[in-house]
Chains A and B, each alone.
Chain A
Amino acid sequence: MKLPGATAYMEALQDPATCFADPELAGASAALGPLGLPRAVSGNVAVVFRLDGSSGRSWAVRCFVRPLEAERARYEALRSHLATLDSSWRVGFDLQPLGIRVDGGWWPVVKMEWTTAEPLLSYVRRHLWDGAALGYLAARVAALAERLRADGVAHGDLQHGNLLVAPGGDLRLVDYDGMYVPALAGWAGTERGHRNYQHPGRAVGDFGPHLDSFSAWSIYASIAALAADPLLWGRLDGGEEALLLRHHDLEQPGRSAAFAAMEASDGPGVADLAALLRSFLALRPDEVPPLSHALGPAPACPAAGGVPTAPGGAGSGATGRPGPSWLPAKPSAAVVTPTRSGGAVDDPPVGAAALAAGEAAMRRAWSARGARATDETPRNGPGDTGGVPATGEGGKDDDAARTEDERRRSLYDALVAAGPVDTGPGAADPPLPPAPAPAVAFGGDLREARRTVAGSGAGAVVLLLTVAVGLPLLVALVGAVAVAGAGLAQVRRLFLRTPEARAAHQVGAVLAAPRRAAGDAVAAVDRLARGRAEVSTGEDAAARDAERDRARLRARQDAELRDVDVSLEATLASLVARERAIGVAEQEARTVALAALQSSVVDAQLAKHSLVSASAAGVSDKIVHLLALDDVRSAADFTDVLVEKKGGVVVCRDGRRIQVNGVDRRQADAILQWRRRVAGAAQLKVPDALPPKRQSAIRAEHNRLRSALAAEEESARVLARRRADGIRERWKAEQDAVLQRQNQVEADAARQRVEIDRDLARARKDVAEAEWHLGQHQEEVGTPAKLGLVDYLRQAVAVGPLAGIAGRPGGTHRHSSRDRMPSSQP
């Protein structure tokens, strides 16, 4: 049954709750794009969505638009092996064979942890002009390759889309469809990996621990090359589904503009890296030595450092230490297939040489960055003649005329030459005789030149020479230039008088115009590429600014919101205090009311007892009568009876004191006793609680107060909410403004990029044309011995190791664009 399309997946993702079998995914929500639809990122075989769980965790869900070739058992083996590892490249994953429901059918998904790391191409683009960052990145790639080997793992599809750079520079790998782990030994592969990164000889069924060797080298070399020469990015259309190299470059390196550009690059070490990759293309994929971080020592001591040897050499029946199988035994030998051992017993293993070369290239890329050799004919490529006979056939001396063997050999020489850079002269004993030095190149005035050189301070010239051939002695440069300047000028004059230089000059005159045109065209490409990078850098800066602005706005908004919260809380706290006070007051009211009730009951009882009845208790009628005259008629009307000097005094309830004649001690006692008796009887009728009606009245009265408080609280909350909304609205307007500005910047940048891209395409075509013309001219006039001032100087100084160092497989690649047509024809 046919897999769902990307749109069908996107429709399903609109409702994770019904489309996912996995409970975590079903409970999550899909990250949305600007249209409110789930945001998707597409690879070649899968569409990837991000799902955000409520717990703050996020997952990547890979939905397959091409059939998943790797079966479940394979994934189980992967999973159980990866579970034993503790490597930072690993991202948790889970294959769910019936993971997603689309239009009624169930399909597999891979659920992965979402990693926030940055995709490789975007990272490289952002750091294009930061050689240190790219150099570090290259080192991390090497470290990753080594780590994968230590983990027993081969990823199978190392490429920009599957490599992400975490904030600390750590690399993360995604997409484990084609991964090899030891438990899968003996299985066959299911994919070939990204064709822009894989050795063209890799077959679908290839599988094993070596799977990543070539792609790792290719990524490493591309990044290291960019660290040394960022202009390659623009020149080779970097970032378009590739770093620098594409499948057609790998399939036909001899016709590859990318290899040619790298080999002509004046970035230190770039040419060597390209040559190294080229040499790997001549091997079988499983013979390519693994990329290693512990870059080996000089090629002469292969055993040290445990540098692995190329598997092909060991497995092809060679005895003992296998030779560099890709190197013919003799320069003139017929083409030797990579698998056959060359037979030179003392040859270092290919791995060591390759690693040493890689390291040397890296070291140069690192240390000599910025100290680009100032060549006299700037766009003329590596002008030295390390491996080419100095006075030669003339005319067709390049690629076309050289055999494959010679090319490999000169590469090997370069590798050997690269070794002693740090280990010092003599440490290496090249197993093959060095390429012929251009000893016969110059006429008799060499002696004078030597004198001049000596006279101006040989050491300084050596230093200058060292710098001129790209060695990392930049520190000494400043001093050396001053000392040697005058002397060098003199040497240059002598050099220009040599017949070789004159011939070269004449040819140079013919070629000057086309060369200038080619140079101009390349410069135009570079300018545009730089412009493009600047646009992107500007855009990135704007994005960062906008992000910062938004963060600041958010912080200010949060601060204001916090203020609102704080004041609301204060209001609420005071409301709580007042409510408590209401409770207290209610209690009090009840107590008071009860007391009042009780005393009123007592009073009523007392009032019922007329003083007349007191006569029965021995109170004289006369006194009862007198009291009645003063309105004291019942037990309720008085509270006390005193006997003072002037006579008896009755204390009335209202506080009046009434003088009552005839009240003596005895009478007073009688009255009080009567009252006590009456009051005692009244006590029995006193209630000990308020009647329910009264109680609920009091309650109601206080509840009214309480609901007033509640209303106050509600209005305080409403107010706070309104203020918060107001604040949010106000800041949202500002945030939107920032966002809009940013969108504008992005749109502008995109438009500029489109324009620049259009110009770039044209400019690239111009370059191809100009180079083609130049090639035509060169073919017409023939190429003079490519001896430059540097060779002359080297001769003059005749310092052994430097001759070796300066030697490069030069001249081999310079005109390789000749056989290309001037247009962008495939």
Chain B
Amino acid sequence: MPFSAEISRANPTCFLFLIDQSESMGAHIGGGDVPMTKAEAVADAVNRLLSELSIKCAKEDGVRDYFHVGVIGYGAAVGPILDGALAGRDLVPLSEVAARPARMEERTRQNGRHSAGRTVKFPTWFSPVAYGDTPMCAALTRARGLLGPWLADHPGCFPPVVVNITDGVSTDGDALPVAQGLQALTSADGHVLLFNLHLSSGLSDPVIFPGPDTALPDDYARQLHRMSSPLPDQMMAAAARQDLVLDAGARGFAFNADISAIVQFLDVGTQVLELR
């Protein structure tokens, strides 16, 4: 059965985030408590996810390398965007990620409706950028170039998960064949999972994890849908835990996501550890 490989330190899996850094990511996005740009919302959500993964894999003896993690940006350039000590690195073992955030930022959190906010320390590994085109094909090609050798080193792994986060159409060609090339990569446990998270222009309601036959608003949405892998069982179970009712064969795809949909998407799309 695919997607059943035990994830362990000797047999880790990997998460690769492809983040659209184009001009339009500087526009505002809805669904949050405070106004922010799409780029900021994505950076916040992915940074928070890195911290979440680090804590989840923290055991008595330290952070376990169940995952290797990479963040690739595409906009004016295409390449790894982790800052600080990890600058220039593409796939980094989780324990290193956990130990080396680029910055410790101060964020304000509300304790209650009426009480004053308090500041908390919030580790970040990269910062939002919104400048340039949307070279999605180059980004997917880059992902393929990284995962090929990684899979050769980890032939029995739970298949790597690639999450592509974008708000626009590829400006360097048709992304579908490139995406399919990426999805063709495989370990003994199954094909690489490619999920696509499309961000809201603020006009219509989000669609999250649509089934194979869900009606979608336009051709572009249908293309991204085709580019997205079906959710494996453990992610379906995670969605169910969040009271999301999904069709069988639901895909790792969201259209017009707002801030809360981004968080939910990333949460469900990275549920691969199932210890029970």
Could you tell me which A residues sit within 8 Å of B by CB distance? 2, 5-7, 10-11, 14-15, 18, 34-37, 39-42, 44, 47, 65-66, 101, 103-104, 119, 122, 191-195, 237, 240-241, 246, 750, 754, 757-758, 760-761, 765, 823-826
Contacts and interface: CB of A to CB of B under 8 A. Distances in A.
Contacts of B276: 44, 191-195
10 contacts: A15-B120, A35-B101, A40-B55, A40-B58, A41-B59, A122-B60, A194-B276, A754-B65, A757-B10, A825-B188
Contacts of B93: 754
A159 to B, nearest CB: 10
A6 B58 CA distance: 11
Interface in B105-157: 107, 109-113, 118, 120-123, 153, 155-156
By Cβ-Cβ distance, the 7 closest A-B pairs, closest first, are A6-B55, A824-B156, A240-B8, A11-B120, A7-B51, A104-B112, A757-B10
Nearest to B267: A5
B10 A760 contact: yes
Nearest to A198: B276
B272 to A, nearest CB: 14
Contacts of A39: 58
A241 B58 contact: no
Given A14-B120, A194-B276, A237-B8, A42 B59 contact: yes
A11 B111 contact: no
A104 B275 contact: no
Given A237-B8, A826-B189, A104 B48 contact: no
Contact of A824 (B56, B60, B122, B188): B188
Interface residues of B, number: 45
B245 interface: no
Nearest to B123: A35
A6 B188 contact: no
Contacts of B51: 6-7, 10
B222 interface: no
B188 A11 contact: no
B1 interface: yes
Given A41-B59, A824-B188, A241 B110 contact: no
A765 B58 CA distance: 28
Interface string B64-99: 010000000000000000000000000001010001
A18 B111 contact: yes
Contacts of B122: 11
Max chain A Cβ within 10 angstroms of own Cβ: one of B109, B155, B276: B276
Nearest to B264: A2
A538 to B, nearest CB: 16
Given A47-B55, A122-B61, A826 B9 contact: no
Contacts, number: 106
Given A18-B118, A35-B104, A194 B242 contact: no
A10 B98 CA distance: 14
Nearest to B49: A7
A743 to B, nearest CB: 11
B99 A103 contact: no
A754 B8 CA distance: 12
A761 B110 CA distance: 48
A690 to B, nearest CB: 63
B59 A826 contact: no
Contacts of B101: 35
Interface string B187-205: 0110000000000000000
B180 interface: no
A750 B59 CA distance: 15
Contacts of A42: 55-59
A66 B240 CA distance: 13
Contacts of A6: 51-52, 55-56
Given A36-B121, A104-B112, A826-B189, A7 B52 contact: yes
Given A5-B48, A65-B56, A104-B113, 15 more contacts: A11-B120, A36-B121, A39-B58, A42-B56, A101-B112, A104-B110, A122-B60, A191-B276, A194-B276, A237-B8, A240-B9, A240-B10, A757-B10, A760-B10, A765-B156
Nearest to A39: B58
Contacts of A761: 10-11, 156
Contact of A757 (B9, B104, B109, B189): B9
Given A7-B52, A824-B188, A14 B275 contact: no
A241 B123 contact: no
Nearest to B5: A826
A103 B60 contact: no
A194 B118 CA distance: 38
Max chain B Cβ within 10 angstroms of own Cβ: one of A122, A241, A246: A241
Contacts of B111: 18, 101, 103-104
Interface string B146-170: 0000000101100000000000000
B1 A826 contact: yes
A826 B10 contact: no
Nearest to A34: B99
B37 interface: no
A547 B48 CA distance: 35
A15 to B, nearest CB: 6
B6 interface: yes
A133 B102 CA distance: 44
B4 interface: yes
A7 B5 contact: no
Nearest to A193: B276
Nearest to A826: B4
Nearest to B156: A824
A40 B107 CA distance: 20
A237 B156 CA distance: 15
A192 B55 CA distance: 24
Nearest to B7: A241
Contacts of A240: 6, 8-10
B109 A7 contact: no
A15 B99 CA distance: 22
A683 to B, nearest CB: 79
Contacts of A15: 118, 120
A618 to B, nearest CB: 101
Interface in B32-67: 48, 51-52, 55-61, 65
Contacts of B153: 758
B109 A246 contact: no
Contacts of B120: 11, 14-15
B59 A237 contact: no
Nearest to A125: B61
A16 to B, nearest CB: 12
A763 B240 CA distance: 39
A101 B107 CA distance: 17
A760 B8 CA distance: 13
B201 to A, nearest CB: 26
Contacts of B59: 41-42
Contacts of B123: 35, 37
Contacts of A7: 48, 51-52, 55
B1 to A, nearest CB: 7
Nearest to A47: B55
A9 B36 CA distance: 23
A754 B113 CA distance: 48
Nearest to B112: A104
B60 to A, nearest CB: 5
Given A7-B48, A15-B118, A761-B10, A194 B56 contact: no
A760 B104 CA distance: 37
Contacts of B188: 823-826
A795 B57 CA distance: 57
A122 B60 CA distance: 9
A39 B59 CA distance: 10
A2 B244 CA distance: 12
A101 to B, nearest CB: 6
Contacts of B112: 101, 104
A10 B275 contact: no
B9 A14 contact: no
B6 A103 contact: no
Interface in B1-40: 1, 4-6, 8-11
A40 B275 CA distance: 18
